[in-house]
Amino acid sequence: MSPRDFLREMAYPASSSGTLIALGTFLLLMLLASAAGLLGIWLAIAVIPAYLRYLTMIAEARARERDASPPGIEYFTLVGNAWTLFPVIPVVVLGVLVVETMQALGAAAALIVALLGAPILPAIIGVLVITHSPIQSVDPRAIIRFIRGCGASYAYAPLAAVLVVAVPMMLDFLPVWAQSLLEVYLLAAFFAVVGAVIRDAGLIDDVDLPDDTEPDPDEALAAEASDRTRILNHAYGFVSRGNRDGGLEHIYASLRTDPHPDAAWRWYLEQMLRWEDAYPGLLLAQQYLGRLLEHGDQVGAVKLMLRCSHVDASFRPLTADLPRAIAAAQACDNRELVETLSRGR
C-alpha cells in the first residue's frame, strides 16, 4: 500500500456521494440526539450502533474495492448480522479511555492511550471483516496472523486510528457541530483504510482460524447462513427503496460465488417468498427454474413450479424455458400443470 493509496482511502468518504450522504444523515441524527435531552438517549442507542455497523460495511466494501451500499432500516435493528455490531465494543472502550484520560491527565496522556490502542484496534476490525466472527477477532493468534499477513502496509491502519484522536484534539477550538463532523468523517476514513489494507494484502478470502485449529463444520454452516442473511438484508434494503433490480443483482452476485450454490438458491428463494411482496422472489424463482431445467432436474423443476403457483397462480417460466418446463411436467405425469403451461404458450 502506497502513501497515495492511503490518502485516497482517507478521502474516500468525501469522494463517494452515497457514503457522504449516509455520514451526513448519521451526523444530523447524532446532533439531534445530543440536543434532545432524555429522549436523545434513546435516539443515540439506535443511531450509534447503526453508524458503527455502517462503518464495518465500509471496511468490508473497501476490502473488495467497492463502494459501501447505502444503509437501510435494518441497520437500526439489533437482530441479524450481529457480527457487524461488535466494533461498538472496542471502539467505544478505546474512546472512553481516551476521553477519561484527557479529562484526568490532559491531552498528552490521552494521546498516549490512543497510541497504545491504535496498533491492535485495526487488527480486531480487520479479522472481524474477514471472518465475521467476534470471537475470532479477539483471538491473539488470528490478530498476529492478520498483522503478519498485511506486512508493512498494516502501519497505515494504526496511523489512521491515531488521526481519529489527534486531529480533533488539535482542533478543539472548533464548535461542537464541526468537531462532530470531523470525528464522524475520520472514523469512516479509518475503516476505509482498514479495508484497503486488507485488500492490498489480498486477505479478504484467506484469513481464517489459526493454522493449528481444525475448522468446525457447524461453525462453517453458521458462517454461510450469516453471510446469506447479510446479503439478503442488503437486497431487501434495495427492494424496499424501489430498486428491485439492484436487490436481485446483489443476490445473483452472491450466488455466483457461493461455495454451495444449490443450497443457496433454495435458501434465498424460500426466504424471499416469505416477504410481504413475494414478486421479487418469483423473479428469482424463474431464474432458479431455468437452472434446474438446464441441469435436467425435472422433478425439482415441477416441485418449484407448483410451489410458486401456490404463492401466485399466474406464475410462469421464462419464455425460453417454457418448452422444457412443459416437458418436465409431462415426464412427471402432471397433466394439470401441462395444461396450465400450454395455455401460456
pLDDT given at position 127: 84
Mean pLDDT of 210-227: 52
Q: What is the distance between the alpha carbons of residues 65 and 12, in angstroms, rounded to a whole number? A: 11
Indicate the average pLDDT of the chain: 81
Number of H helices, E strands in the chain: 18, 0
Angle at 92 between CA 204 and CA 131, to 5 degrees: 20
Name the band, by pLDDT with cuts 50, 70 and 90, for residue 345: low
Q: pLDDT tens digits, residue range 298-337?
A: 988 998 998 888 888 888 999 999 999 999 999 888 888 8
Are 99 and 93 in contact by the 8 Å Cβ rule? The answer is no
Q: Supply the pLDDT for residue 344.
A: 56
Positive or negative, the CA dihedral 78, 54, 135, 262 is positive
Please state the pTM of the whole predicted model: 0.55
* The pLDDT of residue 209 is above 50: no
- Highest mean pLDDT among 47-51, 127-131, 202-206, 272-276 belongs to 272-276
Q: pLDDT value at position 74?
A: 65
- The closest alpha carbon to 301, from 328, 273, 264, 269, belongs to 328
Higher local confidence (pLDDT), 263 or 72: 263
Q: Which of the pair, 201 or 79, is modelled with greater confidence?
A: 201
Summarize the confidence of residues 10-24 as an average pLDDT.
89
Rounded Cα distance, 56 and 85, in Å: 8
User: Which one has a higher pLDDT value, 254 or 80?
Assistant: 254
pLDDT score for 206: 53
Among 248, 293, 253, which residue's Cα sits nearest to residue 275? 248
All three cell numbers of 323, joined, read: 418448452
Nearest residue to 257 via CA among 215, 204, 297, 318: 204
Q: Label residue 29 by pLDDT band (50, 70, 90).
A: confident
Closest CA to 30 of 242, 177, 136, 168: 177
Mapped onto helix, strand or coil, the DSSP state of residue 11 is: coil
pLDDT in tens, 65-100: 888 877 776 677 655 555 666 666 776 677 778 778
| Residue position matching grid coordinates 508493512 | 152
Nearest Cα to 191, choosing from 145, 128, 254, 131? 128
Determine the 3-state secondary structure of 260 from DSSP. coil
First-last CA distance in the chain: 58
> Which residues are CB-contacts of 41 (< 8 A; sequence separation ≥ 6)?
33
- Domain residue ranges of the chain, discontinuous segments joined by +: 3-201, 217-343
Cα separations in angstroms, 286 against 86, 254, 260, 327, 328: 38, 17, 19, 16, 15
Q: Which residue has the higher pLDDT, 343 or 325?
A: 325
The cell for 251 is 443476490
Alpha helices for 202-297 (secondary structure H): 217-240, 244-257, 261-272, 279-294
Grid cell digits, residue 317: 417460466
Question: Exposed, middle or buried, 125 (CB in 10 Å: 0-12/13-18/19+)?
Answer: buried
Q: Each residue of 46-67: b (16+ CB within 10 Å) or e? A: ebbbbbbbbbbbbbbbbbeeee
Residue 214's pLDDT band, with cuts at 50, 70 and 90, is: very low
